[in-house]
Chain A
Amino acid sequence: MKAGHIALAWRGRSHANYLAFLVHRLSGLALALFLPLHFWALGRAIEGEAALDGFLRWADRPLVKFAEAGLVVLLAIHLAGGLRVLAIEFLPWRNWQKTAVAASAGFALAVGVLFLLNAAG
C-alpha cells in the first residue's frame, strides 16, 4: 500500500471513537503480552521468600517503578475503555460519546499520576 493510500485510509478513521477502540484494543494486547512476565514474577514466591524479595527489591528501582506506572495506565485505560463499551451496549444511548472517551482517557492518566505520586511519596 502506498503512503498516500495509507494517509487516506487513516483520514476515514480519524475520529475520537475509532481512536478509543484502537487504544482499548492495543492496551489489551499489551497487557496480554505482559501477563507471562506477571506470572513469572509471582512464580518467584514458589522458589522461596528470598527469591521473591530479591525481585521486589529490583522492582523498587525508580526506572522500573516508572515502567510500572505505564502498566498501571494501560490497565486503567483498558478498564475505563471496557466500561465505556459496556455503557454503550447496556445503557440507554447518550449523545456525549466524545466526552465519555475523554473521561476514560482522563481517568487512566489520573490513575497513572496517582500511582507515581504514591511511589514518590
Chain B
Amino acid sequence: MPADGGTLEVRVWRGGAEGRYVPYAVPRRQSQTVLDAVSYIQRHLDASLSYRFACRVGMCGSCAMTVNGKPRWTCRTHVAKVARGGALTVGPLRNLPVIKDLACDMAPFFDKWAKAEGRFRPPTEPARDFVPVRPASPARQAADAGIECIGCAVCYAACDVVAANPDYLGPAALNRAWTLVNDVRDAGQRERLAAVAGDAGCHACHSQQGCREYCPKHLNPTAAIAGLKRVTARAALKGEI
C-alpha cells in the first residue's frame, strides 16, 4: 500500500521487565494497523525487535499489546483510531512476565485456564445417547455468549485484580469456566465450582469491568464472573462445595 504522507512516531518498549521506550519514525500509510507499524520497525529499522503475531485477521489472539496505555489486539487496531498527536506508545501486555520487548510469557495466563477447570470433562460412563442441547435454552445462550474467546489476554492485562493478586484466575479463565458450567454434557461441575470459588476465584472480582471494556471480541467476562458468583454461592448454601 502506498505511503500516505507523513511520519508516525512509534515509541516501543525495549528490554524486559526493566527497559525503556525507544522512539522510531514509521512512514504513515493508508489503513495502517498498529501491527503494521511494529512490523515496519522490525523489518526496516531494527531487526532485533521481538513481538508476536500469527494470523493478522483477529483469530489467533497472539498480537495483543498495550497501545497508548490500553490493551488491544494490534492486527485489528487502526493507527488512525488510536494515534494521539501523530504518536503511538506500544508496550507489552500488563500483568504478564515480559520476555523481551513486546513479547510476554503467556504461560501464567493459560495455566490459570487449567486451574479454573477450563477443560471439558466427559462423563466416566460412555454416553448412551445424544444429549439434547436446545440452542435457545438459557444455559446454551449463556455458553454461546462466551465461547468466542481467542485467548489474547487483553482482559487479563486490563484487570487490576490480577495486578493486585497474582493468583487471581482472571477474566478469561473464569469466562471459560462459565461456558462449561453452562454445558449440560459436562460431568465435572462440582470440581469446577470448587476451583473457581476460592480466594483467587470469581469472588475476588471487583466488577471494574476493564475486561468487558477492552475485550476485542466484545465478550463480557464480567457477566460470566457474576454468573459464577451466583452459582457458587448457591452451591455453597446447599453444601455442594
Contact = CB atoms under 8 A, between A and B. Distances in A.
Interface of A: 4, 7-13, 15, 17-18, 21, 85, 88-90, 93, 97
B158 A88 contact: no
Contacts of A8: 66, 68-69, 89, 91
A95 to B, nearest CB: 9
B202 to A, nearest CB: 10
Interface majority SS (helix, strand, loop, mixed), chain A:
helix
Contact of A12 (B206, B209, B210): B210
Contact of A21 (B68, B207, B226): B207
A8 B68 CA distance: 6
Contact of B207 (A12, A15, A88): A88
A71 to B, nearest CB: 24
Interface string B199-226: 0000000111110110000001011001
Given A12-B94, A90-B230, A93-B226, 11 more contacts: A8-B66, A8-B68, A13-B160, A13-B210, A17-B207, A17-B210, A17-B212, A18-B209, A21-B208, A88-B226, A93-B220
Contacts of B213: 15, 17-18
Nearest to B202: A89
Interface string B58-89: 00000000101111000000000000000001
B92 to A, nearest CB: 12
B230 A89 contact: yes
Contacts of B91: 8
A42 to B, nearest CB: 32
B210 A10 contact: no
Contacts of A93: 220, 223, 226-227
Contacts of A12: 66, 69-71, 94, 158, 210
Nearest to A94: B223
